[in-house]
Amino acid sequence: MQSRTHTCGQLRLENAGARVKLVGWMENTREVSGNLTFVVLRDFYGTTQLVAETEEMVAAFKDITKESTISIEGVVRERASKNPNMPTGDVEVVPDKVEVLGRCRYNELPFQVNRSREADEATRLKYRYLDLRNPDVKKNIILRSNVVAALRAAMIDHGFMEITTPILTASSPEGARDYLVPARNHPGKFYALPQAPQQFKQLLMTSGFDRYFQIAPCFRDEDARADRSPGEFYQLDMEMAFASQEDVFEILEDVLPPIFAKYGTYDIASKAPFRRIAYADAMETYGCDKPDLRIDLTVKDVTALLSDCGFEPFAGNVVKAVVVEDFKETRKFIDKLCADVEVQAGSKAYWFRLDDKGELVGGISKFLAEKKDAVAAALNLQPGCFVALSAGKKTAAQKTAGVLVKQIGAAVPGHMDRERYEFCWIVDFPMYEIGEESGELEFCHNPFSMPSGGLETLLKAEKGELDPLTITADQYDLVCNGVELSSGAVRNHDPEIMVKAFELVGLGEDDVKAKFPAMYNAFCYGAPPHAGIAPGVDRMVMLLAGEDSIREIIPFPMNKTAQDLMMGAPSEVTQKQLDELHIALVKPEKE
């Protein structure tokens, strides 16, 4: 070992009597007397207890600040009072020489390193290099490294070739805001950081490569969420030529379960084939397109039964119900549940119960008195059942019901089998939707997806023989424990079909050529049918680590407002830099 004979996690009882040299950070000291001090030395591999037993050595350690890096030499001996919680807890080292390698120049630290997760997030991110010294924080980064290595090895074993694609590229309408990079030698023009290697990986398929993958960095200027990091993220990007949806499913169903079983917090993971759920069925049954199949609750449609019950929010709206059997929670719990759901869903939740006497009580029960028997029969209610309800336009009612399912499933005992990884495929996504802002027909997800039925389906929609909103795409999402790990699709590789798909949203062939020139031209030279997907590495590791926030598994994450508190980014630049890039700043007017 460079500069040392052993690591701080290596010494065992068989090393007793050996002279060793250790290096690391001085984590803590406890002075018992003028000639006895206990010291904890920490490196990447673990911790070792040191015992200073002379006035000279006690004085030497007393002069060293915590978190300084040191080198010590001494003799290993068996500990009189062993620590079973430490791998090195059977031994200790009695040093006779200590050297300071890098002094910590601050007597006060922003937080105690081995308890850094108790500090507020802003402080942790500002001093991330100290936060990462905490073994509990570091283990997530080690996990990430191991998972990426396992993914890479598995993809190579399946015949995929790793190819890196450009970081500086052209701006492309792919759903999120681009990060733009000014081109110094081309005034007024900009590169864009790729939101995903989407076009490049499809171009690789047209170039004759059969199976491509990379651990790809992606850049999107979007807001943070618990499962989404602002700025940049990484995905296992893959594409297969002459492939179908089934080929993609087969690869991931073979690659992911062993990795989840080996590295996950839980050792149970779905086996192939994963359950497949049509998008429309997922929305109806679970209230969302990211169902957590560990939860046994589902959504029932009660519109026909309750829309005319006299309760105003139900009139003329879609009404959904979630039935919870043997519900023993308090009114305080119910009130908090409804408040939390309204915050998350943006719509109110309603409720009633069937008490032990078979009577409808609480919430909106008075509006249901005349329908009591019909309601009980339709929902198969038993005494002790609790019914949560949502109402509104179809999508709003579904969304609120979906939030109810997840909130109740997580909070009420007996409805979630937490310690497992449940995968499913969401398939048959709608190709088009009506835009909330434009009110016009727009692509629902990926414009590069192949419409189910191909050109024939699009021609029928063009002629008015088919509602374009009923067209589905050969597109699929991979979901695990309620988290969307990935979106993928069978690609639209035919220029004629591509142009027709865009014509339905008001864009012609010239627009397609202008927006996607390389892809359109490449497809005109004979492109193979191809399909792919790109599971998010960050989200995958978050699930494996059992973390609630994606920032816990990223080495140097930004905060929720896309700021790097440690490096001070984004930052101002000099006027000279702006002049070289032909950029003039226009500051926003003060309100």
* pLDDT confidence of residue 305: 94
Q: What 3-state class would DSSP assign to 232?
A: strand
Cα–Cα–Cα angle for 320, 322, 326, rounded to 5 degrees: 155
* pLDDT confidence of residue 227: 73
Provide the residue ranges of all domains of the chain, joining segments of one domain with +.
13-102, 138-275+422-554, 295-411
Cα–Cα–Cα angle for 35, 36, 41, rounded to 5 degrees: 130
- 9 beta partners: none
Q: Which amino acid is at 294?
A: R
- Domain 13-102 and domain 138-275+422-554 have a common topology: no
Contact 171, 224 (CB under 8 A): no
Q: From CA 540, how far away is CA 264, in angstroms rounded?
A: 10
Q: What 3-state class would DSSP assign to 188?
A: coil
Q: What is the CATH code of the structural domain delimited by 13-102? A: 2.40.50.140
The string of pLDDT tens digits covering residues 523-548 is: 999 999 999 999 999 999 999 999 99
Within 10 angstroms of residue 437's Cβ, the number of other Cβ atoms is: 6
* pLDDT confidence of residue 447: 84
Q: From CA 199, how far away is CA 209, in angstroms rounded?
A: 14
pTM > 0.75: yes or no: yes
User: Widest CA span of the chain, in angstroms?
Assistant: 94
Tell me which of 3.20.20.70, 3.30.499.10, 3.40.50.1110, 3.30.1360.30 is the CATH number of domain 295-411.
Answer: 3.30.1360.30
Q: What is the CATH code of the structural domain delimited by 138-275+422-554? A: 3.30.930.10
Contact 58, 19 (CB under 8 A): no
User: Given the structure tokens 């701006």, which residue do they identify?
Assistant: 171
Nearest C-alpha neighbor of 389 from the set 279, 305, 292: 305
Per-residue pLDDT of the chain (591 residues; tens, 9 = 90+): 678 999 999 999 999 999 999 999 999 999 998 899 999 999 999 999 999 999 999 999 999 999 999 999 999 999 999 999 999 999 999 999 999 999 999 999 999 999 999 999 999 999 999 999 999 999 999 999 999 999 999 999 999 999 999 999 998 766 678 999 999 999 999 999 999 999 999 999 999 999 999 999 999 988 877 677 888 999 999 999 999 999 999 999 999 999 999 999 998 899 999 999 999 999 999 999 999 999 999 999 999 999 999 999 999 999 999 999 999 999 999 999 999 999 999 999 999 999 998 899 999 999 999 999 999 999 999 999 999 999 999 999 999 999 999 999 999 999 999 999 999 999 999 999 998 888 899 998 888 899 999 999 999 999 999 999 999 999 999 999 999 999 999 999 999 999 999 999 999 899 888 888 899 999 999 999 999 999 999 999 999 999 999 999 999 999 999 999 999 999 999 999 999 999 999 888 776
The Cβ-side half-sphere exposure at 572, using a 13 Å CA radius, reads 6
Percent of the chain with pLDDT over 70: 99
* pLDDT confidence of residue 590: 73
Q: From CA 343, how far away is CA 313, in angstroms rounded?
A: 18
Q: From CA 167, how far away is CA 219, in angstroms rounded?
A: 9
The string of pLDDT tens digits covering residues 544-576 is: 999 999 999 999 999 999 999 999 999 999 999
